[in-house]
Amino acid sequence: MKGIDLFSPPSTCCFCEAAVKVPWGRGWRRVCDHCRARLKPIRDCCCLRCGRFMKRSFSSPCSDCQQWGQTSLEANRSVCTYNRFARELVWMLKYRGNEEWAKPLGEMMAERLLETGWKAAGVTYVPVHADRLHERGFNQAERLAQVVAKAIGLPKRSLLQRIHQADSQSQKGRGQRLAAIKGAFRLSASVDERTLSGSWILVDDVYTTGATLVECARTLADAGVERIRSLTFAR
């Protein structure tokens, strides 16, 4: 047994380094039982449009989405609810520079995407302003999109550019966020319009009010993208 263990050592949890049952696992298999219990996966019982967790399935969108009305963002799906633990994971990735966490989070997102059965021409992501990119050193949405695209065998493309940076959105409601984010994005100058045909997956770390994703989707739709659906780690 020792020889086998040395040849194929057990993998550890990507978040707390506790032992996990599946050596060299990916996505959820890299998460120990303790951390798995702290995350709340979203699967079948969710809003058909925004992907919010619901106690039972409904054939119509949730009341929140009904207030939204029709948008260019067809649907969203997320790995888990945005509870305290999910918030900690995103915060560690986003603000503490734990870029290596993009791999397990992105792999979990890829697994969620495969569950949907969605077909797409490629994967893109929510961009950050150049000033924010310089300050942080990386865009967490781009890192997640890179992992997702690689895991499912699709190209990753930078389709959007952020042209102005809004103030912090964390304490704002949907209406305020929509007003603040309007006109914040444009199509990247390097984009070949021929790549815009078909369906695209738009990646971000968290779906909160949906304002940022909806504005990105509107910009892509105006540029000619036929179908935009989003994928986030938390909702």
Residue 234 gets which letter from DSSP?
Answer: E
**Is 220 within 8 Å of 202 (Cβ atoms)?**
yes
CA–CA gap between residue 73 and residue 61 (Å, rounded): 13
Fold for the domain defined by 42-234:
Rossmann fold (3.40.50)
Reading the chain (235 residues) residue by residue, the pLDDT tens digits are 344 444 555 588 888 889 887 766 678 888 899 999 999 999 888 999 999 999 877 778 898 888 878 889 999 999 999 999 999 999 999 888 778 889 999 999 999 999 999 999 999 999 999 888 878 889 999 999 999 999 999 999 999 999 987 666 556 666 677 778 889 999 998 898 888 888 999 999 999 999 999 999 999 999 999 999 999 999 9
Say how far apart CA 148 and CA 83 lie, in whole Å: 22
Domain limits, the chain: 1-38, 42-234
